[in-house]
């Protein structure tokens, strides 16, 4: 009995898979046989399986398809180890490539400022929202950092904020003038809403700390109310802050510190660093970018 026949019998008998599921498993199995070519299945190694993964990726297969096929192959080899005497399962421990990082659609400077300046401030919760979103855009905060902020986290007369980021890492971020003004307006309302013992900077209507979901929903409501073509969410404000700060400063390291990224590579991907600008700065600044005229003539 061939390995493929053994798999078919297992799917229809012991597993009792539906015809559609059985067809999908067999298609994944035939793909492995095609990739293996003349190499017998019992001779396949993890190195060759990784090569198949790279080939599928280069041919445009997405990470979900590759992960599904690896899962099917892993189960097939497990069956063959159990029933056909195969020595090892070469797919064990092989992982699919990670999904490509998807970034929010960039928000222009005028779009971001227009949104913030058109937020009505006719009630305490609206003033709270204006303060939240001004702060998120000013300091590039994650939504978890925004709702985690407390009154005691401000430093330097409100000009900086101590933030607890991912992995429990703390950083200080600057707070711009517009955000400070919006926060001053909100703090007058906060005093009349806050419940005893509550230290959160931003409160819900019951006087307790805002949840991340509540922040997201309020921002979606404002997007609809203001007639925005694309719904805003907190991460788009963080992305806008990062993009606009980088465009203005051209300082990747400072952008990394502002966002609290542990790796500068994350910042470079996140902000869509303009490589052409980087190349021009390198040409102008690096002492080994160009040879001198004399050296060029040698």
Looking at 159, 166, 208, 253, which residue is catalytic? 166
Q: Please give the full DSSP string across 145-181, using - where no structure is assigned.
A: HHHH-BGGGEEGGGTEEEEE-GGG-EEEEE--HHHHH
Looking at 190, 209, 238, 244, which residue is catalytic? 238
Is 286 one of the catalytic residues?
no
Looking at 130, 180, 190, 261, which residue is catalytic? 261
d(CA 54, CA 46): 12
Question: In a 10 Å sphere around its CB, with 0-12 CB exposed, 13-18 middle and 19+ buried, how is residue 161 labelled?
Answer: buried
Is 238 one of the catalytic residues?
yes
d(CA 1, CA 77): 15
For the chain, counts of helices (H) and of strands (E): 14, 3
Minimal CA–CA distance to 171: which of 162, 180, 179? 162
Is 235 one of the catalytic residues?
yes
d(CA 169, CA 163): 8
Q: Contacts by 244-250 with C-beta closer than 8 Å and gap 24+?
A: 244/109, 244/112, 245/140, 246/271, 246/273, 250/277, 250/281
d(CA 199, CA 273): 38
Name every residue whose Cβ is closer than 8 Å to that of residue 90 and which is 6 or more positions away in sequence: 44, 45, 46, 48, 49, 77
Looking at 69, 127, 142, 239, which residue is catalytic? 142
Is 261 one of the catalytic residues?
yes
Is 288 one of the catalytic residues?
no
d(CA 193, CA 95): 51
Is 270 one of the catalytic residues?
yes
Residues labelled catalytic: 142, 166, 235, 238, 261, 270
């Amino acid at each position: 009995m061939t390995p493929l026949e053994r798999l078919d019998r297992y799917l229809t008998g012991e597993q009792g898979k539906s015809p559609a599921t059985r067809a999908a498993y067999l298609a994944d199995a035939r793909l492995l046989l095609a990739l293996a070519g003349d190499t017998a299945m019992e001779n396949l190694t993890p190195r060759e399986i990784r090569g198949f993964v790279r080939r599928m990726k280069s041919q445009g297969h997405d990470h979900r398809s590759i992960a599904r096929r690896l899962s099917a192959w892993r189960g097939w080899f497990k069956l063959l180890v159990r029933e056909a005497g195969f020595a090892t399962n070469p797919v064990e421990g092989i992982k699919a490539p990670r999904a490509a990082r998807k970034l929010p659609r960039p928000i222009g400077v005028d779009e971001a400022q227009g949104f913030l300046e058109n937020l009505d401030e006719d009630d305490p919760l609206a003033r709270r929202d204006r303060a939240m979103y001004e702060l998120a855009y000013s300091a590039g905060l994650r939504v978890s950092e925004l709702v985690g902020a407390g009154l005691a986290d401000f430093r330097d007369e409100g000009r900086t904020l101590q933030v607890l980021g991912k992995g429990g890492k703390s950083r200080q971020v600057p707070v711009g003038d517009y955000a400070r003004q919006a926060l001053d307006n909100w703090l007058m309302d906060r005093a009349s809403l806050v419940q005893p013992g509550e230290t959160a900077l931003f409160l819900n209507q019951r006087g307790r700390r805002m949840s991340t979901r509540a922040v997201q929903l309020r921002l979606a409501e404002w997007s609809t109310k203001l007639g925005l073509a694309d719904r805003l969410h907190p991460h788009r404000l963080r992305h806008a802050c990062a993009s606009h700060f980088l465009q203005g400063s051209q300082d990747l390291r400072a952008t990394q510190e502002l966002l609290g990224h542990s790796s500068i590579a994350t910042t470079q991907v996140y902000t869509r660093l303009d490589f052409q600008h980087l190349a021009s700065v390198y040409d102008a600044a690096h002492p080994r970018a160009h040879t001198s005229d004399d050296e060029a003539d040698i």
